[in-house]
Amino acid sequence: MDSIFFYILLTSFIATLVRSTFGFGESLVAVPLLIQFIPVETAVPLSVLLSIFIALVVVAQDHRKIHFNSAKWLILFAIPGIPLGLALLVYGNDFLVKLGLGMLILFYSVYSLFEKKSLELKKDNMFWLFACGFFSGVFGGAYGLNGPRWWYMET
C-alpha cells in the first residue's frame, strides 16, 4: 500500500509540474499514469481534485487576466455536460473508456504537433462558448480533461 501512495504522490507532483510549466495538462499526465495502479473510477476524481486545487492557485495568482464574462458562459454550458461524462465513466465499458482517453490524448497530441496557428476569437461567440463549455463538462466528468486554461484566460 505504501508504494501505491508514493506512486500517487509522484504522479501528482509530475502532473502539477506539467501544469505549472505549460498552463494545462495535469490530467493528461495524471490519469493515464494513475490508471496503471488504481481504477479509472478513482483516478479521474483524484485528478479532478488535484486540478481544482491547482486552478485555485492559478486563479489567485492571475485573477486580473480572467475574462469573467466568457468564463461565466463556459461554466454554465459545462454544467449539463458533467453528468453525461460521469455517466460515461461510471456505466461505460472500462476498455472503451480507456480507449477513448487514449484516442483523445493521441488526437490532441497530433493536433498540437501539426497545427501552428493559434485559434483566437476576438469577441464571444455563443456557439463556441456552448460547444467548448459543454464538451469541457463531458471530458471533465469522464476523464478530468476540461481543457487548457488559455481557453478562458489571456496569454
Q: Report pLDDT for 144.
A: 67
Q: Report pLDDT for 13.
A: 92
pLDDT of 121 strictly over 50: yes
In 3D space, the residue among 28, 35, 30 whose CA is nearest the CA of residue 9 turns out to be: 30
93-102 contacts at long range (C-beta below 8 A, 24 or more positions apart): 94/40, 97/40, 97/142, 98/35, 98/40, 100/142, 100/143, 101/31, 101/32, 101/143, 101/145, 102/32
Q: How many domains does the structure of the chain reveal?
A: 1
* Domain membership of residue 58 as a residue range: 2-151
pLDDT of 80 strictly over 50: yes
Q: Report pLDDT for 149.
A: 45
Per the rule left: phi > 0, alpha: psi between -120 and 50, beta: everything else, 133 is alpha
pLDDT digits (tens, 9 = 90+) for 24-65: 778 888 888 999 999 988 888 888 888 888 888 878 888 888
The band of 81, judged by pLDDT with boundaries at 50, 70 and 90, is: very high
